[in-house]
Chain A
Amino acid sequence: MNNYARPDFLVETDWVAAHLEDPQVRIVESDEDYLLYETGHIPGAVKIDWFTTLQHPVRRDFLSREDFEKLCSAQGIANDTTVVFYGDKNNWFACYAFWLFEYYGHRNLKIMNGGRAKWAAEGRPLVKEVPQYPSTHYHAQEPNEAIRAYRDEVMKHIRERRPLVDVRSPQEYSGELLHMPNYPQEGAQRGGHIPGAVNIPWSKAVREDGTFKPPEELRQLYESQGVRPDSEVIAYCRIGERSSHTWYVLKYLLGYSNVKNYDGSWTEWGNLVGAPIEKSVQ
């Protein structure tokens, strides 16, 4: 199918179409657009919303391990279920949900290449019926901190000159874009980027139809900027969703062994008192 480093973690739309009735497979839609699932979704797919479902209800953090277990159990996801994520915006939040499932130790995970847009463009069915599955007794693992970076680790990364990948747009990276006319950008008091970070926008990893570029192109994209397979890499964006996409590309499509997603991202760093910032524009 493809010659990515870990091809088992990526499936095409025809694979999904062939597994709609497979009881070992749970298809999950994760979108930025909160009501997109309600307009129609892949038959049998359940909805997991990044904001209302995957976040802690009070503090800035993810849902607890216990709540993750409840979520999976309620969606009929067992520990050995193969969970296939897809969504809007080139799978940003599909990758975000994938990353969080890995954080809590789920093993059988896949991304549907091209996401919701490709499925729809191929004229495949979208339905409004919300499926119900028998609940399970899901057991999550302790959080896997090897894939998550916190701000202190980012500071250390800066000092040790290890690779940081800013996957936002060049305008966000340069500090030019903090506000758009008439509407404040969410979150950050300051614009710019983390010192030493290279700018490789997430969008450079995908083709126009939203599918991932071939491995040789991806390899060139990252290695030409000094982000090498043997390095300890931290990716960040604004809130951690676009960097989940890059985390997935580096870890699963290119086989990088040590990649972390800094989910605090610019909404934390750009508000952090005293945090060093580089800007390309004044």
Chain B
Amino acid sequence: MSIRDRSVAPTTPILEEDAAMWTAKIRRSLVSTLPPERLIPDRQPSYLSSWIYMFGALTLAALSIIVVTGVLLSLEGPTWWHLSSVGLFVNSLHLWSVELFFFFMVVHLWGKFFMAAWRGNRALTWMTGVITLLASVGAALTGYVSQTNFDSQWIATQAKDGLNSVGVGAFFNVLNFGQMLMWHIILLPLAVIAITVLHVLLVRKHGIVPPIELTEANQGGEA
């Protein structure tokens, strides 16, 4: 028998008196919103047979390299990444994975824009992608000013004028190295990772947006 039963049976029966508990309510809500077979599906629709659908996953792959190399840089510190050959290599990996992250994310954005990927109740998925892009720009800027070299000093003095001109310099001071480092290694990575996880969960919940022609065909010619 090659076809297996794909349904997932609960391992522990829920007692009747426990059904009203908040834990049971949250569990039921989570499972009904995102059943395991939809969270990690075995198969994808045939319309995904195009290279343009690869760029979201490529962006995630680049993000994972950024996180791993960023953790290594945090553990070892500036002397290591400026002076040792391994440190320089990891620093370069961190930079180039960021370059690829933005490259893939922009191609992903263009692809989803021309697919009108917000169709079918997917507006929140689209907006979480937009916020991830904005948070990533902030993460990149704070990274450039946290390099501890002449390049970072030059970028900080230039960015300072730009940020002061829009009135945010008082609480987001790019010349304050400690503040920029905290934004770069704690606040913005947390934001980017958390919103990316939400973005992926929303994609899993609503499914990958079907092509416009397919939607029109299903709706009898109506968009």
- A and B associate: no
Residues of A within 8 A of B (CB): none
